Chains A and B, each alone.
Chain A
């Protein structure tokens, strides 16, 4: 294994890990405040990527050509719209189902994911086919010996890292974050302390969905192609990552995301079977981890009340 190829795999793995972690953080946030799994999360990511693409097409149409301005606008519009969508989903689907068994919420949001996915396929112009996503970031490359690091990859990784740090700071350092953590810990007590439960839930769903939109745009910028089904697998992997890390724990979600990407990369390059088995390997390890640590790598602090 030469250094250049290894470097390429590491960058690719980090990029995947970043996307998985962003999706997983969303899952873990939703679970934290409402103890629900919102399975339409992956499809919110898809819609976010398509919203970004539409924004870009709009910008080109009105003649704005500066790539930096375009990137900024694409990210801003996509995240803002998905934040709104996430809050709407919470208001009209998840909160009304609060009293129902958790499985009902899971299935309802899963079906909502289907609705979103099918809507993109049917109502987006030519949505059934993969769409080229513009390469808006500079594509120059640094060379280290044989290994070349493209600038756009570096920017995406740094941006992803910045977003995760930002969310972390938001949760742990601000008053809003305090409210979110309070609701996560005990919704009723939080309400008696004057925290507006509904507003906190809506904001949390908005934040999580904005993260998904960011991951979607990131995915588009990295692969230069998006399609209506891209969110399904990303959503499931993000969910698995959040679970493997330990639900309700933001570090767990990040750890799970990068772990899953690492497993896929190891499965592709370092193991003695064909690289096509990388997903089989990754999922098998996920099952093994669940057998070993039944409540995730970083277990929930709260013990089961009998």
Chain B
């Protein structure tokens, strides 16, 4: 059951990335909606979910195979691969937001800003230093976490909507700052060097015997690796006592403090770790695009990240995967209807929120033993 579901999803993703005419795109979206509705009525969705819960290893392996299959299918298509890589990097950044928001309950609207800090760090480091590029990725995350630490004090002191305004103000501040300063290229932006991993230049196409693949394939592979690490981290974190503490803090700070959990400690940990992940994702994103500008990291992009977390089902890493795919790829594929794409996208999100307020894949109860009924 689980394997069949993954296979079906893979075929669907390939088809969706492949088709170009508007009737085909619309047809696929409609078909997916019909399948989901009918599947929901017949109880398939529940069975699939249960199957995934029981065979988690199969799910993990299956999804990796699926990503590889999609990548292999489009090995020469720059645009499709670019979308796959973008989705993967957004997943990584949104996993960071999941730690912050899904577990510790810190709402962060400036995810795109930390993403951007990573990208700009990569630009500066690759242009002016000889730091190995793998370290540049880590440095991107570290700088994002460091700059994010300036927000820790206000974030810890504020709650709810008041906390939201701190990160909203930071997101706007960051973009304005990038636009007006001269050192970081101003509104025109900066060039970023290509990733070079121990002499493996990511800017070159990959030659596999007679086949020459797009250079973005390199980035897809590295981004997949990073997402796998990120997923492992988030899953382990959720299962561990740290995740349990964070859940307790999110649900009731006062009560958890009474039981000896230090809310400040875990909130700081979650916030820093989340920004680190966003920064790493941003660093690789910058290298992939080769050119970054303030307009890549606006407040609106931060909102897109929040919508991914929310649509996926807050706190569920798999939800992030599904929602990132929808949120990033759908507007791009709707390009055939150009003008109306943001309109339709926004309307879709409203409908999902209106009729499925828990998100597409709501987070289930914590499962300590795979296969056990919860």
Chain A interface (Cβ within 8 Å of chain B)?
A: 31, 37, 93, 96-97, 100-104, 106-108, 110-112, 114-115, 118-119, 122, 236, 239-240, 243-244, 247, 274, 276-277, 279-280, 283-284, 286-288, 290-291, 294-296, 306
Would you call B162 and A295 a contact (CB within 8 A)? Answer: yes
Q: Write 29 A-B pairs (CB below 8 A) sorted by A numbering.
A: A37-B161, A97-B357, A100-B357, A102-B160, A107-B306, A108-B350, A108-B353, A110-B303, A112-B350, A114-B343, A114-B345, A114-B346, A115-B347, A118-B340, A122-B340, A239-B168, A240-B169, A243-B161, A244-B165, A247-B161, A276-B180, A280-B177, A280-B180, A283-B170, A287-B173, A290-B165, A291-B153, A294-B158, A294-B159
B188 within 8 A of partner (CB): no
Would you call B176 and A283 a contact (CB within 8 A)? Answer: yes
Closest partner residue, chain B, to A277 (CB atom): B180
Q: With A and B bound together, what is the CA distance between A107 and B327 in angstroms?
A: 14
Would you call B173 and A279 a contact (CB within 8 A)? Answer: yes
The binding surface of chain B is classed by DSSP as: helix
Closest partner residue, chain B, to A112 (CB atom): B350
User: Given A115-B343, A236-B172, A276-B179, 16 more contacts at CB 8 Å?
Assistant: A31-B161, A104-B357, A106-B164, A114-B345, A114-B346, A115-B350, A118-B340, A239-B168, A243-B164, A244-B165, A274-B180, A279-B172, A279-B176, A283-B170, A288-B154, A294-B158
Would you call B310 and A107 a contact (CB within 8 A)? Answer: yes
Would you call B339 and A103 a contact (CB within 8 A)? Answer: no
CB neighbours (8 Å) of B177 from chain A are 277, 280
Closest partner residue, chain B, to A241 (CB atom): B165
Q: Which of B348-373 contact A (CB under 8 A)?
A: 349-350, 353-354, 357
CB neighbours (8 Å) of B229 from chain A are none
Would you call A290 and B347 a contact (CB within 8 A)? Answer: no
B307 within 8 A of partner (CB): yes
CB neighbours (8 Å) of A112 from chain B are 346, 350
Would you call B340 and A97 a contact (CB within 8 A)? Answer: no
B75 within 8 A of partner (CB): no
Known: A103-B107, A115-B350, A118-B346. A286 touches B357 (CB 8 A): no
From residue B336, how far is it (CB to closest CB) to chain A in Å?
16
From residue A273, how far is it (CB to closest CB) to chain B in Å?
9
Q: Which of B322-356 contact A (CB under 8 A)?
A: 339-340, 342-343, 345-347, 349-350, 353-354
Q: With A and B bound together, what is the CA distance between A279 and B159 in angstroms?
A: 24
Partner of B154, one of A103, A106, A114, A287: A287
Would you call A290 and B180 a contact (CB within 8 A)? Answer: no
CB neighbours (8 Å) of B310 from chain A are 103-104, 107
Q: With A and B bound together, what is the CA distance between A110 and B173 in angstroms?
A: 20
Q: With A and B bound together, what is the CA distance between A228 and B306 in angstroms?
A: 24
B157 within 8 A of partner (CB): yes
B166 within 8 A of partner (CB): yes
Counting chain B CB atoms within 10 Å of each CB, the highest count among A104, A115, A119, A287 belongs to A287
Would you call B172 and A111 a contact (CB within 8 A)? Answer: no
